[in-house]
Amino acid sequence: MAPKRSPARLVIALSVAAALAVFLLYASIAGGGTPMVQPSELDGRTGLVTLAGHVVGAPTGDSYGAHGLRFQVRDIRGGATERLTVLYTGSVPDQFKRGRDIVVDGQLQSGTFVAVRDSLITKCPSKYAPDKKSS
């Protein structure tokens, strides 16, 4: 007859699995995520955020210059008409220009969104939209 196994191993294994599950759930929901906001939602936020916006106006300056590249963004859906100036340094994607949607990390400082170096990403919604048929 085989000796009866103690249920202690099973209880310990299940406890460890439950603790890992709780940790993963906490990390995915509340742990250190950077909130994504549009320019109209930026007021009052002092920490690091991910800004999503639509580039309006021609960019000025140099991405690696002493003063960086400056451009203005508005909300992607165009609800709010106010513009926010972004100061960016680092590499600029080839697709970056007026009329593109962008995403950039940074924080608001004295009314200007100061972006984290090399965090600019452009989005091209028309590339993924279906072709419009002429009537």
Sequence letter at residue 112: T
- Asked if the structure places residue 19 within a domain, the reply is no
Per residue of the chain (135 residues), give pLDDT as tens: 667 777 888 999 999 999 999 988 877 776 566 778 999 988 888 889 999 999 997 888 877 666 789 999 999 887 777 899 999 999 999 889 999 999 999 999 988 999 999 999 998 655 555 555 544
* Domain that includes residue 99, residue range: 36-128
Number of structural domains found in the chain:
1
Maximum Cα interatomic distance, the chain, rounded to a whole number of Å: 84
Q: Which two tokens stand for residue 105?
A: 């990390």
- Asked if the structure places residue 61 within a domain, the reply is yes
- Asked if the structure places residue 63 within a domain, the reply is yes
- Asked if the structure places residue 23 within a domain, the reply is no
- Asked if the structure places residue 134 within a domain, the reply is no
- Its pTM stands at 0.67
CATH code where residue 80 lies: 2.40.50.140
